């Protein structure tokens, strides 16, 4: 088990409620659009609530707020947002979180 120290200065935790029967599709889209090629994205996690199968969570950690904004402004990111919107009801709730580190089991 490895201890990780993440040097992020910007991050958030978002919770979305998928329309009934659409959570798996939402999760697949979020994972397919992961900014894994962006060196400024230090953490990208997608999860589902154990108590509400329609609640989907995304946690991101970025080197800077500007790096996140630049990534989000890209046409590819905006296309992903357009595909996600019909799968979600009530928008998303965002909470500022700056990821500091943790454990990664490989």
For residue 23, count CB atoms less than 10 angstroms from its CB and return exposed for 0-12, middle for 13-18, buried for 19 or more: buried
pTM exceeds 0.85, yes or no: yes
Among 44, 6, 10, which Cα is nearest to 27's?
44
pLDDT given for residue 61 in this prediction: 93
Alpha helix locations (H) across 3-92? 23-32, 65-73, 75-84
The total number of residues written for the chain in this structure:
106
- Tell me the pLDDT tens digit for each residue of 9-65: 999 999 999 999 999 999 999 999 899 899 999 999 999 999 999 999 999 999 999
pLDDT mean over 65-86: 95
**The domain 2-100: what is its CATH number?**
3.30.70.100
Cα 64 from Cα 53, distance rounded (Å): 32
The predicted pLDDT at position 106 comes to 67
Tokens of 59: 């946690």
DSSP 8-state code for residue 87: G
3-class secondary structure, 106? coil
């Amino acid at each position: 088990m490895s201890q990780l120290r993440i040097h992020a200065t910007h991050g958030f935790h978002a919770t979305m409620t998928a329309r009934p029967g659409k959570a798996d599709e939402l999760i697949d889209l979020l994972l397919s659009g992961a900014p894994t090629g962006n060196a400024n994205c230090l953490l990208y996690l997608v999860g589902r609530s154990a108590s509400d199968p329609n609640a989907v969570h995304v946690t991101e950690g970025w080197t800077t707020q500007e790096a996140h904004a630049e990534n989000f402004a890209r046409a590819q990111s905006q296309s992903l947002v357009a595909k996600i919107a019909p799968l979600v009801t009530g928008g998303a709730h965002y909470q500022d979180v700056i990821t500091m580190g943790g454990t990664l089991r490989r």
